[in-house]
Structure 1
Amino acid sequence: MAKNPAVRHFIWGVSLFGALFVNFPIIFLNLPLLSKSSLAQLDVFMQIVLCMTYSFLFINFIYRSSKRNLSTKKQWSDGFLLFVGFAVILSAFNMIVIDLPVRMIPSVVMRGGLLAGIAYFFSRFLTENERKNEILIENEQLKNDNLQIQLTALRNQLNPHFLFNSLNTLSWLINEDKNKSQLYLQKLSQVLRYSLSMQEQSFVSLKEEMALTDSFIFLLQMRFGDN
């Protein structure tokens, strides 16, 4: 049976639709008697309930078979047993409880076959729709992985270049202003420490990001001045 609640609700909805559809002639014929005869009410109620249950089980059977990759022979044999069970139960109810003649059994068989066709169509639709969703999710995951790889490669390209320029600026500052060179070295170490610690992380706090921005702006100001 489907574990997803949304899938179960969908299957129950389709099963109810199928039961109402195949039993429409019976509902229509019993409509004038529903307010007068409890037997007519029982007849309509049980026809719909049994057909809906059969449809629900059949859709679940096809859906589960596609998930488990059962052989075609196994699917046909199990589906036929389910169909026979439905025909026997509904025929027995019609003859014993409702007291319908034996000649009405073909109508049960016809409704069972029609419900099986409806159930098969909707179960295949459900399976194909799930497969499409799985493919879309997999494609999105591959896109995200590809973007992460590109980001990592970009970081690896930028870090040596940034370090080279920063060391050149530090070398110049040491000769020009030792106090600023000490501050510059402190800010540079903060940026590099942050960069190394964030290699394996995807999210950071705003406070950490603002601290990095402050240090990085200082490094750029020391390098470019007022330009």
Structure 2
Amino acid sequence: MKLARYSNQDEVMQVLIVPVYVGVLNWLMLGNQYWRNGWVFLVATVLTLVAALLAWFINNAVGLYLNRRFPDIDQTLLRLSWLLGWCALVGWSYCLFLYGCYYLINSPNLPMQPGRLPLVLLFNLLVVLMVIVFYEGIRAFERWESALRKTEELKQANLQSQFDSLRSQINPHFLFNSLNTLSSLIEEDAGQAELFVEEMASVYRYLLRSNESQMATLADELAFAQSYFHLLSTRYGANIHLSQAVNEQYETCLLPPLTLQLLLENAVKHNVILPDQPLHISIRTADNDRLVVQNNLQRKSTRILSNQVGLSNIATQYRLLGGGEIRVEDDDQFFTVTLPLLRPL
């Protein structure tokens, strides 16, 4: 059974505080006889130590519950008040329990001194206050350290995202295919070639702007996806289809930039696109602020080497930005990615 931990420094605190607490408490309860008589020292120390550790673990569990029950900063005073009251009650019950045990042992070597009970209870309260102050200081430091670590992770993820975006901007394979398509269009259809250049410029303009913000609206992503898909459809013709069913109420929602481009690129990269095997891609919104991107599966016979940059990059950005988790489903008929849509603040 795993014992409750209130802090990563539990063991250190127990080693530093519990022995001193046990010694002083027994001295207050039993007087100098505690130090002079070996039998008294052994019995009282073992009994007090076991009871102290039990009380410590109980208080830890209650402290963890109160942290879950009152997690907000503005609830700190309320949480600490409950914690102090509970720990004081446990501590006083513990002291009365020890007095009762010494009374039941009924040995002249364990002299009862009821007059010292108020002093014992006051000492216990002071120890409880000290432990709570130490623990709250440690937890505050751990929270600050965790927040700092998450900030650094977000910075690193952002830098990695910018690098990945830059790499996709100058992807030589994509650029080579686009220029080949453009070269063919110039000879066959000058008007279509001009439109292709406009859409290609729109795609690269959006790619360059994507590094300026960590989030993009769904409306902007959909507009970019249409421009990007125009390049694909010019290359693959009627063999590739894109359908959209997006509720207008979600167009102002946010998601990481280039998300749709990465998903479209993955669909094209990993599937056969032929007249008798067209690729169908759909983008639709679902209830509970979700965007679903789906394509039919017709995997290429030659497995494409993939470093999973696309999906892992999207998942990392969602996780570190607090946007939730993406869901990826592959049932051998359809490949489906479900994305959370974030409401603007």
Q: TM-score, normalised by structure 2?
A: 0.40
1:223 corresponds in structure 2 to: none
In structure 2, relative to structure 1, the CA distance for the partners of 1:18 and 1:154 (3 Å cut) is: farther
Deviation at 1:119, TM superposition (A): 1.8
Q: Give the fraction of aligned pairs with identical amino acids, expressed as a percent.
A: 21
Q: Are residues 1:10 and 2:1 paired?
A: no
User: 1:125-182 CA deviation, whole Å, 9 max, x = no partner?
Assistant: 2321321232123113212320222012211222259945xx79xx9xxxxxxxxxxx
Counterpart of 2:310 in structure 1 is: 200
How far does residue 58 in structure 1 lie from its aligned partner after superposition? 3.5
| 1:152 aligns to 2:164 (yes or no) | yes
Rounded Cα–Cα distance in structure 1 between residues aligned with 2:111 and 2:119: 15
Q: 1:41 to 1:99 in 2, by over 3 A?
A: same
Which residue is 2:63 aligned to? Answer: 62
Deviation at 1:86, TM superposition (A): 1.7
- For the 8 Å contact 1:87–1:109, the answer to whether it is kept is yes
Cα gap change, 1:143 to 1:21, in 2 (>3 Å): farther
Equivalent residue number for residue 33 of structure 1: 37
Structure 1 gap segments, 5+ residues each: 172-192, 203-227
User: Where do residues 92-131 of structure 1 align in structure 2 (5 Å cutoff)?
Assistant: 92-97=100-105, 98-131=110-143
Q: Which moved more, 1:138-147 or 1:6-15?
A: 6-15
Q: Which residue of 2 aligns with 1:78?
A: 86
Do the aligned partners of 1:33 and 1:40 also contact (CA within 8 Å) in 2? Answer: yes
Letter of the 1:152 counterpart? D
2:59 aligns to what SS in structure 1? helix
**Alpha carbons of 1:93 and 1:108: their partners in 2 closer, same or farther (altered >3 Å)?**
farther
1:42 & 1:130 partners in 2: Cα distance? 38
List structure 1 runs of 4+ shifted beyond 4 angstroms: 3-8, 24-28
TM-aligned CA deviation for residue 20 of structure 1: 4.6
Q: Which has the higher helix share?
A: 1
RMSD: 4.0
Q: Give 1:46 deviation, angstroms.
A: 2.5
The answer as to whether partners of 2:84 and 2:132 remain within 8 angstroms in 1 is no
Count of aligned pairs: 176
Summarize deviations over 1:16-46 as a string: whole Å, max 9, x none: 2452563484699333322xxx234312333
Q: CA separation in 1, counterparts of 2:24 and 2:117?
A: 15
Contact 2:7/2:135 (<8 A) preserved = no
Supply the AA of the counterpart residue of 1:75.
L
Amino acid at match of 1:91: Y
Q: Secondary structure at the match of 1:100?
A: coil
- Answer with 1 or 2: which has the greater Rg: 1
Unaligned runs of 5+ residues in structure 2 are 72-77, 184-268, 270-303, 313-345
C-alpha displacement of 1:101: 2.8
Q: Aligned with 1:200: secondary structure?
A: helix
